[in-house]
Amino acid sequence: MRPNFYQMPLQTEIARRRTFAIIAHPDAGKTTLTEKLLLFGGAIQVAGAVKSNKIKKTATSDFMEIEKQRGISVATSVMGFDYNGLKINILDTPGHQDFAEDTYRTLTAVDSVIVVIDVAKGVEPQTEKLVQVCRMRDTPIIVFINKLDRVGKDAFDLLDEVEEKLGLNVRPLSWPIGMGKDFKGVYNLYENNLVLYEPNSKESNKVEITDLSDPTVDKLLYKQAQVLRDEVELINGVYEPFDKEEYLSGQLSPVFFGSAINNFGVKELLNCFIDIAPTPRPTKTAERVVQPDEDVFTGFIFKIHANMDPKHRDRIAFLRINSGVFLRGNNYLHVRSGKKLKFSSPTAFMADKKDVVDEAFPGDIVGLHDTGTFVIGDTLTEGEMLHFRGIPSFSPEMFKYVENGDPMKAKQLWKGVDQLMDEGVAQLFTTATGRKVIGTVGQLQFEVIEYRLKHEYGATCIWEPLSMYKACWITSDNKAKHDEFKKVNGQFMAKDKHNRDVYLANSEFRLNMERQNFPEISFHFTSEF
């Protein structure tokens, strides 16, 4: 047990933490918002361009070479900084649907979420899927409606769309004054002030008012003043007052409006966020619920990334601290293997930039140098046998054989494939004949794998098409029937990286037939069963 003098600092450090993810459909402005939060938080001096051939500086959170070239996020980035006495941990997630699994795993490591929505496009399909995962976990959600400097959908229509498509109960905490060329700013309902729009100004032009009947409003907004009054009156009549406890329980979602690329509305969002967002929350394990203020350390691996620094070929496991204090140099139990591990140089992150840390607290994300010890979902404790749940791999829907394209680089190819699969980029299956099959949820993943194999490992791969419908893990309490199924379906059987039996069904009809023929077999479409 840790001495009592640790208790006060631990409670204090927990109260300082805000760990959250930013999620959105591609091109909604998610990574740009991340950059501006870092800018306002003082973590960076110049915000990068997410997409621009003219500006060489790229977004801080898009640190992989392919991300810089494509202008998209293909891996979750972790960034920590201090703001107003608090420790803020941002996880910027991939928006592209082909990398949704990385985002799903990231959502297990955060305490709240900011959802970014494009004012012109409204709620898009990928946003719906990601929010559904958040709602399953009762994760507190703040909505940021972006790109108000452009013409878009009516604000009330957008709120209706958010409630209908995302299933959220919303409450506006800021309200737009005009849109596009007529955009004058927002009325901050949370702080009761006007924030006037000045493109690319780091400091908002904030005007304190007693209420909207203040004559200052007419002087600043002219004809739009009465429109604003009418709309705010309607808001207060239609939507319930903001209740922080409802937000923290995942039952109410505050909504903010702004323009991230023009630095507008971001600081208001950040100031409200640090005021209302949750501190580290309890975490469920298979055995019990872990409270963050417990004095013994627990944590789990939710992400692995190879070659964050291509010069050193390093591999980093991302550890979320759930309870207690993580100390550099201490021995911790790796529950899956039963071995004790010691970490001499754990790191904190600013995307690909890393600093060694001596201690970390609940809510923090720590990078551990990994030589192949970890897999996603692994648990570290001070001795207790705990297993964190909710970090599954999903059944892939696209399949290709992977072959070596350069006989001189076979070792590099298979090392690269092995490490990239450990990251969860895709899934590797080995057939009974020894052929390697990679399964993904989208075509872009194959392109990223090929690119990274070439540029990070110096290896060339050749893809061969493979027509398959689904991969599913199979289990059975009846060993004889299990063996019979494998014999009958030998050409469709494979092993995953953990040597578990996988059935590669070539059609929906065939899968349904086998389910009828073998009722003793359980077919699993996620890796957690």
End-to-end CA distance of the chain: 34
State the virtual CA torsion across 159, 161, 162, 168 in degrees, nearest 10.
100
Range 499-526 average pLDDT:
93
Q: Do the domain assignments include residue 27?
A: yes
Q: With bands split at pLDDT 50, 70 and 90, how would you rate the model's confidence at 105?
A: confident
Q: Supply the pLDDT for residue 209.
A: 85
Q: What is the pLDDT of residue 8?
A: 56
CA separation for the pair 184, 197 (Å, rounded): 5
CB 473 within 8 A of CB 514: no
Measured CA to CA, the distance from residue 296 to residue 386 in angstroms comes to: 12
Tell me: do 141 and 161 sit in the same domain: yes
| Residue (of 400, 373, 396) closest to 463 by Cα position | 400
* Domain end residue (candidates: 225, 259, 276): 276
Distance, in Å, from the CA atom of 356 to the CA atom of 322, rounded to the nearest integer, reads 19
Q: What pLDDT score does 80 carry?
A: 83
* Spatial separation of the C-alpha atoms in residues 72 and 64, rounded to whole Å: 10
Closest C-alpha among 418, 422, 413 to residue 450: 413
Task: Pick the range with the lowest mean pLDDT from 48-57, 124-133, 286-295, 502-511.
Answer: 48-57
Cα atoms found within 13 Å of the Cα of residue 104, Cβ hemisphere only: 22
125 plus 264 within the same structural domain: yes
Q: Work out the pLDDT band at 361, boundaries 50, 70, 90.
A: very high
Region of 353 (left: φ > 0; alpha: ψ -120 to 50; beta: rest) is: beta
- What's the token pair of residue 240? 């319930």
Whether the CB-CB separation of 264 and 177 falls below 8 Å is answered with no
Task: Give residue 5's pLDDT band: very low, low, confident or very high (50, 70, 90).
Answer: very low
Domain match, 34 and 183 both: yes
Looking up residue 480, the CATH number of its domain turns out to be 3.30.70.3280
* Residue-number span of the structural domain to which 36 is assigned: 4-276
pLDDT of residue 162: 96
pLDDT at residue 111 tops 90 = yes
260, 346: one domain = no
Task: Give the mean model confidence (pLDDT) for residues 380-393.
Answer: 85
**pLDDT exceeds 70 at position 269:** yes
Give residue 73's pLDDT. Answer: 38
Q: Which of 71-85, 132-146, 195-209, 499-513 has the least mean pLDDT?
A: 71-85
- As a whole number of angstroms, the distance between CA 292 and CA 282 comes to 6
CATH number of the domain that residue 142 is part of: 3.40.50.300
Residue 386 covered by a domain: no
Q: Which residue has the higher pLDDT, 393 or 62?
A: 393
Q: Estimate to the nearest angstrom the gap between the alpha carbon of 61 and the chain centroid.
A: 12
Domain boundary among 276, 291, 309: 276
Does residue 462 share a domain with residue 327? no
In-domain check, residue 387: no
CB–CB of 359/326 below 8 Å?
yes
- Is 139 inside any structural domain? yes
Residue 288: helix, strand or coil by DSSP?
Answer: coil
Chain Cα centroid distance, residue 364: 15
The per-residue pLDDT for 509 is: 95
Distance between CA atoms of 87 and 80, rounded to whole angstroms? Answer: 7
pLDDT at residue 267 in the model: 87
Q: What is the mean pLDDT of residues 400-423?
A: 89
Percent of the chain clearing pLDDT 90 (strictly above): 52
pLDDT at position 100 is 57
How is residue 413 written in tokens? 């190819």
User: Which has the closest alpha carbon to 413: 424, 402, 398?
Assistant: 402
| pLDDT surpassing 70 at residue 51 | no
Q: What is the pLDDT of residue 313?
A: 57
Query: Is residue 220 domain-resident?
Result: yes
Residue 111 or 34, more confident: 111
Task: Let me know if residue 390 belongs to a domain.
Answer: no
Helices (H), 169-264: 215-221, 224-238, 244-248
Residue 34 reports pLDDT greater than 90: no
Residue 28 lies in a domain: yes
Residue 392 counted as domain residue: no
**What pLDDT is recorded for position 492?**
94
Q: Kindly report, residue by residue over 345-360, the tens digit of the pLDDT.
A: 898 865 445 678 899 9
CB 253 within 8 A of CB 197: no
Distances (CA, A) of 148 to 175, 176, 260, 275, 307: 11, 8, 9, 24, 38
Q: Are residues 375 and 229 in the same domain?
A: no
Question: Residue by residue, what is the 3-state secondary structure of 12-34?
Answer: HHHHHEEEEEEEECCCCCHHHHH
Cβ burial 83-97 (10 Å sphere, 16+ → b, else e): beebbbbbbbbbbbb
Count of domains observed in the chain: 3
Predicted confidence at residue 325, as pLDDT, reads 96
pLDDT, position 242: 95
**Mean pLDDT for the stretch of residues 474-503:** 94
pLDDT greater than 70 at residue 112: yes
Neighbours of 295 (CB within 10 A): 15
The pLDDT value recorded for residue 58 is 43
Q: What is the pLDDT of residue 63?
A: 39
Residues 248 and 287 in one domain: no
Same domain, 62 and 130: yes
Distance CA 83, CA 17 (A): 10
Same-domain pairing of 369 and 512:
no
Residues 53-88: tens digit of each pLDDT: 333 334 444 434 444 444 433 345 678 888 899 999
Q: What is the mean pLDDT of residues 283-302?
A: 94
- Judgement on whether residues 41 and 90 belong to the same structural domain of the protein: yes
Q: Is the pLDDT of residue 273 over 90?
A: yes
Lowest mean pLDDT among 14-28, 297-311, 414-428: 297-311
Instruction: For 160-207, write each residue's pLDDT tens digit.
Output: 999 999 999 999 999 999 988 889 999 999 998 998 987 766 566 888
- Residues 272 and 288 both lie in one domain: no
How confident is the model over 82-96, as a mean pLDDT? Answer: 79
Which residue do the tokens 């209706």 mark? 160
User: Domain boundary at 381, 407, 437, which?
Assistant: 381
pLDDT computed for residue 106 by the predictor: 81
Same-domain status, 355 and 407:
no
Q: What value does the mean pLDDT take over residues 283-301?
A: 94
The pLDDT assigned to 310 comes to 54
Query: What average pLDDT does the structure give for the chain?
Result: 84
Map tokens 């070439």 to a residue.
454
Does residue 155 have a pLDDT over 90? yes
Task: Please tell me the least confidently modeled range out of 142-156, 177-191, 437-451, 489-503.
Answer: 437-451
